[in-house]
Structure 1
């Protein structure tokens, strides 16, 4: 019933494709294939899969004509994008999963065993030789799809499969959470960025005022997408706070609107912005990200991300002896464990106190001027 075919790759190495064909009355009614790096692995899969299909009702289940994992992912992307744009990392990860062999699996075949098999494949050279953190991210994003596939669309998805697979993979050390970043920009790096973007604005006055955006991200601790969603109508002048709509939260993505206090520096930046649109910062979030990334590359600033400004802003407040409730009133965090991940102390006091008025190098623009000049 099954065959194994050897194929030579461009690099000279061999791969082995195990294929199952089932015929009834001379016609092929079912076929399935899987490719492996080792012939022994292909043979083991073939034997295992043939045994599964030999079980009563297994072939009828396979022929049911359900949906594939790829179709589930594409439906998830289409329907959720209508409500709220997904993060570019999540979108890219799900599309990449859909393009792998896992995307060809039927919903009924998406078991914990196949998810563990996928993790092994991702660790192999053929699957990208990725780290456990990447596998953990893959499973996390795919888990979001699986969690709605059965209750929302009636797909035959085993709701225990992902939990069981994660438990096994964690014990094997093959899946883990992303490493906590502790990267904070130095004053010298911020000087370079402010100088670079100030000069760019002088040449192109219509460009995004990145000095203000960067400073606001740092002092407000707001995320990149949140900054571009804030509206003038959501500003509480009397309370010096702003309503951050749909704030990112693992358990509640939509409708999670949180009032966040704006420290004096962030408040000054808001007051300096011209009221040209409904949004306070009416710019494209992706454009801000791309501009920041290009600048860091041009200035040879290594491993600095826009999101690190939020880490820096939270850590700064703790260094200034703010207590947990007061810091959380700015950052919007609900619990200390989440807030702790953003806290990387570098001493005591406000390291920006002198830099705000003069800058840490002679050639740097005055940051205060950067966000008080409209």
Structure 2
């Protein structure tokens, strides 16, 4: 027998708790309940669960003590970070999901209906009122957990739940894909930023040489974490290439090592870095420290909405503006297909707007002095970075 009870919350919103009780021979053999933001979702869950529980052996399987989604997420974070650190955003998102009502559900309760309801809850006032793209990012990060929960740990997770939930949300008219950024730095903005960093270097040369890092990021089109992983042993002097280790890829993020061509400007900046005895990395800095430095500089200079990753967008777009073809640009950026490369392409015209750029020579000639923090970063075991 199933019942659905409505409950009005303090903020005026209403939740619906569906409860199923099953008796055999006058003895209750099974009970479960679940709370939903929509009555229709509660009704759909009741119909589905009653049908499932009518199947032979279903009650026995349902009485199995499952593992909560929160426990799954905690195990995922623990085991994945043994291989390499996860991004701050992904980690924070998964922990937030674990601490939400969704985290209390058992593995067998994670269905497409539940995931749809969670996304709608997140977009509603009581769930934070986030944009569909943010809710989509939540599902994407959660999907990484669910995709390995059954094959790796034997948890009872519906392998089609996430895909079905995304289909439903798309049918409902929600665009869950992240908005493509088209932000590129203006030369005037880069002048302010590099002047700021040059003055910082004049005061204290042992800090991160952001002149080198920023210039290399633009002309190499490399991501921040990729820059800090490049080793001297990764250079191909003859081919003017660098081996980019663990390049980001949806299907393979660990062990995805790709050779990428370095344009002349990027090669000259890289070769201007000093070799340190016992040091493997060419840019021996912490990616977190670089990211923090960039954010502080933009805030101090009142430069709005400019991410470090936008330098990669600028570098890729520049190559197309110089009339490089797709295979040649991809040989620098490391992209495998045009659809992925297109997202980084936002043209402003034709030609090289960095031609004759006075900062290139200043960046190449900027002295580098590795401070204690950099040396400490160098001395850490490679697996802990």
Matched residue, 2:252 = 252
SS at 2:17 equivalent: strand
Residue number among 353, 367, 372 corresponding to 2:365 in the alignment: 372
Matched residue, 1:293 = 295
Work out whether 1:161 is the aligned partner of 2:161: yes
Matched residue, 2:314 = 312
Cα separation, 2, equivalents of 1:75 and 1:86: 13
Give the C-alpha shift of residue 54 in structure 1: 6.2
Cα separation, 1, equivalents of 2:325 and 2:52: 61
Residue number among 270, 278, 281 corresponding to 1:279 in the alignment: 281
Cα separation, 2, equivalents of 1:203 and 1:26: 79
Cα separation, 1, equivalents of 2:315 and 2:221: 5
Give the C-alpha shift of residue 204 in structure 1: 2.3
Matched residue, 1:360 = none
SS at 2:125 equivalent: coil
Give the C-alpha shift of residue 159 in structure 1: 0.9
SS at 2:274 equivalent: coil
* 1:292-320 Cα shifts (integer Å, max 9, x gaps): 11111111111110100000000001111
Give the C-alpha shift of residue 372 in structure 1: 2.4
SS at 2:192 equivalent: helix
Q: 1:171 to 1:23 in 2, by over 3 A?
A: closer
Give the C-alpha shift of residue 285 in structure 1: 0.6
Give the C-alpha shift of residue 18 in structure 1: 2.9
Give the C-alpha shift of residue 49 in structure 1: 8.2
Work out whether 1:18 is the aligned partner of 2:17: yes
Matched residue, 2:220 = 220
Give the C-alpha shift of residue 371 in structure 1: 2.6
Cα separation, 1, equivalents of 2:319 and 2:40: 54
Matched residue, 2:354 = 352
Query: What do you get for the CA RMSD once the two structures are aligned?
Result: 2.5
Work out whether 1:204 is the aligned partner of 2:197: no
Give the C-alpha shift of residue 60 in structure 1: 3.6
Describe how 1:1-374 pairs up with structure 2 within 5 A. Answer: 4=5, 6=7, 9=10, 13=12, 15-16=14-15, 18=17, 20=19, 30=31, 32-34=33-35, 36=37, 44=43, 51=50, 55=54, 58-276=58-276, 277-354=279-356, 356-357=357-358, 366-374=359-367
Give the C-alpha shift of residue 22 in structure 1: 5.5
Give the C-alpha shift of residue 27 in structure 1: 9.4
Cα separation, 2, equivalents of 1:90 and 1:252: 17
Give the C-alpha shift of residue 348 in structure 1: 0.8
Q: Is the 8 A contact 2:211 2:366 kept in 1?
A: no
Cα separation, 2, equivalents of 1:63 and 1:299: 60
Q: 1:256 to 1:43 in 2, by over 3 A?
A: closer
Q: Is the 8 A contact 1:132 1:173 kept in 2?
A: no
* 1:225-258 Cα shifts (integer Å, max 9, x gaps): 1001111111112221110011001111111111
Cα separation, 2, equivalents of 1:190 and 1:93: 32
Give the C-alpha shift of residue 215 in structure 1: 0.6
Matched residue, 1:361 = none
Cα separation, 2, equivalents of 1:85 and 1:150: 23
Give the C-alpha shift of residue 173 in structure 1: 2.0
In structure 2, the gaps of 5 or more residues are 368-385
Cα separation, 2, equivalents of 1:29 and 1:139: 31
Aligned residues: 361
Cα separation, 1, equivalents of 2:248 and 2:81: 15
| TM-score (norm: length of structure 1) | 0.88
* 1:178-199 Cα shifts (integer Å, max 9, x gaps): 1111100000100010011111
After TM superposition, the structure 1 stretch with the greater mean CA deviation from structure 2, 203-212 or 215-224, is 203-212
Give the C-alpha shift of residue 5 in structure 1: 7.2
SS at 2:170 equivalent: helix
In structure 1, the gaps of 5 or more residues are 358-365
After TM superposition, the structure 1 stretch with the greater mean CA deviation from structure 2, 82-91 or 262-271, is 82-91
Q: Is the 8 A contact 1:15 1:35 kept in 2?
A: no
Q: 1:26 to 1:298 in 2, by over 3 A?
A: farther
Q: 1:45 to 1:165 in 2, by over 3 A?
A: closer
Cα separation, 2, equivalents of 1:235 and 1:257: 13
Cα separation, 2, equivalents of 1:52 and 1:125: 33
Q: 1:14 to 1:316 in 2, by over 3 A?
A: closer
